[in-house]
Amino acid sequence: MQSSTPSEGDPPPAEPPKCTNCTVHTGFYSSWLSTRKVVLPHVSEALEKYPNYQLVLVGHSLGGAIATLAGLDFKARGWNPRVTTFGEPRLGNKNLNAYIDDRFKITDNHESNDLHRVTHAGDPVPLLPLEEWGYSMHSEEIFISEPSLPFSLADVHYCEGDEDPHCIEGSDDDRPAWGVPTRFKFWQLFFAHRDYFWRLGLCLPGGNPKDWYRKFPKHSTGDGDGDDVQEINEL
């Protein structure tokens, strides 16, 4: 990433340490790059206006992947975000996830860490893309072990390391021999994957119900910024 002297109101330049031998899912990373130029000025303005506020990023599913990648970007600019994701998919290889753990300075004191990813039993998304394709998880998982609603605080557990076998990683094998692995239970996209907010009644789509499932209109920045994707190898 090339740095330059920022003008007044511009976000600080990003100066991340190199992520050696890291790979990241191109779609997830490109999703962050495509929105970054819109998001950064607003975040920078808010931090200047409210310097004592905590910068918090929250995302569900694809939004969780983008929130974690945005958190890395923000840290590279000298900001200190707190990131919580729900149903976040696997982002990249083990080197990338070790890099994420290191950049967020993960410790054994789970409550003091600034990065958490919440998963739910039966949710296939945190197990995708497949491990066989080279993808893995980063640490600070909080696992909801109760597969049905409602769940209680006793069903919420801190997990150890990147892939705790007692959490979502192990749930893929916790089934009868004739059962379907969790990662292939795509019908759970309508159930377990929505149990974090939607089916609990905490988050519902607003506006006209006819618009809930329409695709967002395609758009581009129109500024010839396509070569940003080259940053994928270096973060």
Burial (CB < 10 A; 0-12, 13-18, 19+), residue 62, is middle
Q: Each residue's pLDDT tens digit in the chain (235 positions)? A: 444 444 556 889 999 999 999 999 999 999 999 999 999 999 999 999 999 999 999 999 999 999 999 999 999 999 999 999 999 999 999 999 999 999 999 999 999 999 999 999 999 999 999 999 999 999 999 999 998 888 899 999 999 999 999 999 987 665 554 577 788 788 888 888 988 887 666 665 555 555 545 544 443 434 444 333 334 343 3
Q: Tell me if residue 4 is catalytic.
A: no
The single residue of 25, 60, 120, 193 carrying the catalytic annotation is 193
Q: At residue 63, what is the residue type?
A: G
The dihedral built from the CA positions of residue 157, 162, 165 and 168, taken in this order, carries a sign that is positive
Q: Tell me if residue 7 is catalytic.
A: no
Q: Report d(CA 55, CA 21) in Å as an integer.
A: 29
Whether the CB-CB separation of 90 and 127 falls below 8 Å is answered with yes
pTM of the model as a whole: 0.80
The single residue of 25, 73, 116, 123 carrying the catalytic annotation is 123
Domains and CATH numbers, the chain: 26-200 (3.40.50.1820)
Q: At residue 158, what is the residue type?
A: Y
Q: Report d(CA 107, CA 114) in Å as an integer.
A: 10
Q: Tell me if residue 61 is catalytic.
A: yes
Those residues with Cβ within 8 angstroms of residue 155's Cβ, 6 or more apart along the chain or in another chain = 144, 145, 146
The single residue of 60, 61, 73, 120 carrying the catalytic annotation is 61
